[in-house]
Structure 1
Amino acid sequence: MVEEEKSSNSIYIVPELLEEIFLRLPLKSILKFKTVSKQWRSVLESKMFVEKRMNASKSGKIIAAYNCDCGDRPRIIHEARLGDQVFVYLHCFNARPSMICDSRPLLTCDGLVCIAEPDSIIVLNPSTGQLLRFPEPLSSRFINGEGSDFYRGNWVMGFGRDKVTGSYKVTKMCLLPREEGCDVLDVETGQWKNLSLPTYMAQVGRKLL
């Protein structure tokens, strides 16, 4: 009887309506509701939902990098609203080479942000607070027996979306004469793929994708 009463009082919400409700919730609620069920988490992390939430936003978000010397890695601190404008605060460690040597430490595409670290690649979504970290490819960890010297101009980097598969990808190209190479990271699978260099010349600081 108890089980029958519970089932009769439960409310079923169709996925389409559930998604519309989620689109109207603040970021804090979305992050909290990810833990409710696998179904909710699947909806909230789907590409379609992320795109709809970005399009439904009345105004774009401004990413503000906050540098300090605490030693912590990049992460989203919080959001703040000033009128109709939303600010997303990104915590960065100002002693890291990526924040002081590279003229373009942040790459963006479709609202996603890609950050190059000496030992990893970070892709974060300010709209959902999701942050993914990927290890560097083996080819860029060692050059002539030493660690990669990405931030002194030996590498160029790009971040964009594959028009064929729809997945986001990161490219890293080494410009050293004896160590020329190109690695492509598929953000969806987390796998690096080594490719031959393109025929055109790439310039440091130029976006590849």
Structure 2
Amino acid sequence: MEPIASLFDELTTCERKQLEKLDSPPAIQAFLDGLTYSSDKFYRCPIQVIRDRVGHCFDGALFAAAALRRLGYPPLLLEMLPNDRDDDHILALFKFEGHWGAIAKSNFVGLRYREPVHRTLRELVLSYFEQYYNVAREKTLRGYTLPVNLEAVDSFSWMTKNEDLEEVAGLLERARKLRLLTPEMVKRLSKVDPRSYEAGLQGSRPDGLFKP
């Protein structure tokens, strides 16, 4: 059975209708924005996200990849890599007319959707740089991985089962990593100004914030 058919086979009629409404990348992002942000240490597969209405960035990226796949996009994930004073962040990627966009679930306002206007992945990732900061107001983004295609782990039923989602995480861990900043650039970074800091935390859940 095809992966998307397998996903639909396990959904209730009501759940299928909800998924069918997600007919564009912005609609998928709007669904993620409506989820409660999770501070849980475990992963949820897309079908569990639909049922629980809860998810963190990994869960949200998996869900978005599955929803994008239904629309004909390949299920691609990219991991943004911080220094050791912040959480990583995962994007579900899509490409339209040769330009990259992204969907994401985040506890920060500025780390979510990106329109498909970026010519390269580096350009896309750098669009998150100023909004990628910790509670100490430090800009923490340092690199990113090349995309991974989740078709490679379809045998683990990542869209419908929670048990083997560590295999998906492992795919990202093994992906090639690229650096964004030189050591000299890092030394010159300024702190996030108070207004930007407060704006980025609107609606955030304190228990889901990384404590450096």
TM > 0.5 fold call: no
TM-score, with structure 1 as normaliser: 0.32
Higher strand share: 1
TM-score, with structure 2 as normaliser: 0.31
Flag the structure with larger Rg.
1
Greater relative contact order (Cα < 8 A, sep 6+):
2
Higher helix share: 2
